Structure 1
Amino acid sequence: MKNIKFLSSLFSLIAVLLVTSCQNEALDSDLLNVTPPPVGNQSFTVDMDGQPFVATSTSAVISQGLIVISGVRGNNGETVGIAIPSTTVGTYSGDVAFLSYESSSVAEYTYNNDNPTTGQSSGTVTITSINTVNQTISGTFSFIGYWGNQAENRPSIQFTNGVFNNIPYTGTIPDPGEEYFRATVNGTAKNYSNIVVGSTTESVSIGGTIVSPMSNVQVIIPTEDLLPGTYPIGNDILTGVVGKVSDGAIDNFTSVSGSLTIISITNGWIKGTFSFSAIGPSGSGQPVSVTNGSFNTELP
């Protein structure tokens, strides 16, 4: 299931794209099934159950930590849409990407890559190039589209060989700015000079270390939660975000409660805030308070 904050931002950006597409689409209805010559090298194509879809207009926005791209065919609002919670090149699975097909602007439902029967998401999007000089974006995609009204039992649609080339985008990729990791441990504010970021297939850890006097704080985030939003911090990485703290005589205390807010994931950088309460192994020691936590660093 896609993160709620991601979908909220996504739908607001789709509204922007719809306005832009309406302004740019061809006026002649005879163009509905005609392949137009590309403008420059701009194109958006995909095979729908083996039949070609060639967009007559395109739009793209990079904003709020998201990339949203649409290809529109004709003047009835037939649209293939792509959205990912990132602003950098890379490959994104259907678990994080949102892909959709709308047969017309008045269609009651859309096809999208979330399977309502299994709860699983299909597809892959690869952003191959973001040209920040010419402000164009290129990539490939594929997915299975499932009809939004499960009760109607419509067959799914296979979208294959999707390619978008040199699509002009609006918005900007912000400079990530200063790298930092800060936190207040039991009332003492600390600015961690050594920032360590690591990853496994299941999680990403972001931490700060001071060698002398020794202090270390880290947050461990499941990969499924690497989206803008606010998440509870607990004591089990299998169920959510976990915090760790060592400070002087305090050694390897683990969080029991708290929260993490991922503000943005932009151009390969992650920015957020956190606070949590931690206790020692097997519940030993006095609880440690970690407050005013904040970080801005590059993802691995």
Structure 2
Amino acid sequence: MKNIKFLPLFMLLFAAFNFTSCTQDLEPVDPAIVIPDPTDPTDPTEGEFKATIDGSQYTASTTLVYITGGAIQITAVRPSGDNFGFILDGTATGTYGSVDNILTYNPAGSEFGWWAVNPEDGEQNVGSVIVTEIDTVNQTISGTFSFTGYWSDFEDTSPPAPKQITNGVFTDLPYTTDSPTNDTFFAKVNGVNFNQNNLLTAVISVNEVEVISIGVENANGEAMTVSVSTELGVGSYPITGSLNTDGVQIIYTNAAGQEGTATSGSVSISEVTDDRIKGTFSGNVTIGSTTYSITAGSFDVAY
């Protein structure tokens, strides 16, 4: 089973609800968002975000809401550092259930957290976020939420007990439509620009290999994931088809939902720090009888 890891002080969530086997493959991201460091918020709370956690009151001091081309990301943090993070697959009012969306609560300073997925039954609905209003004039969002959170380290033989999140409400939270982290991603597929409208950068563990995965999706339903081992520094790394051997990989999903893994190409890292990575990539992915040539790839993202 693949683990989802939360970075210290905050969460970079990978949409991994379809992770069901211990293979080398990484699933493409849908939706995709990167969540900024709450210790340096770009937009202080002007509205209200509250919830009850196992009977105790939670009130956020800082929130950040980012609405992309295809998703809503809501982040809420209180002074002690524990935080909520939601990634909702849509940009309209309505109910967003736990099966198709990401709902999490993360303790301060922990790599793992409680997220709304039952490890015994990933298809069980264990909660939801209801977006009741999106005020496009004042750029605020309101709604309610509740869910049961399960510990995200599925390999933990003595995980903490699930948490009951109830009475959740957020009212008039200001939102932005500009990326709070200034991340960029570009690529061409068979010579056509891949115009992504959702992007997520996450650190995940796959077969004991920790990788930085950069996932994007466009309006046509195509998705792409570029993964780089956290052990790699500046340099160029060839792709042969094995993430464990190469430390790098590209996965592409076409508009029909068919997925393929690159067996040739390369990923080059030009800059890497403790929280940001920049580079270029190219590769060839064959799905059925069709080869997709990925060229002019570049990324500059926080992780």
- Using structure 1 for the length normalisation, give the TM-score: 0.48
Query: Greater share of helix residues, 1 or 2?
Result: 1
State TM-score, norm by structure 2.
0.48
Higher-Rg structure is 1
Greater relative CO (CA pairs within 8 A, separation 6+): 2
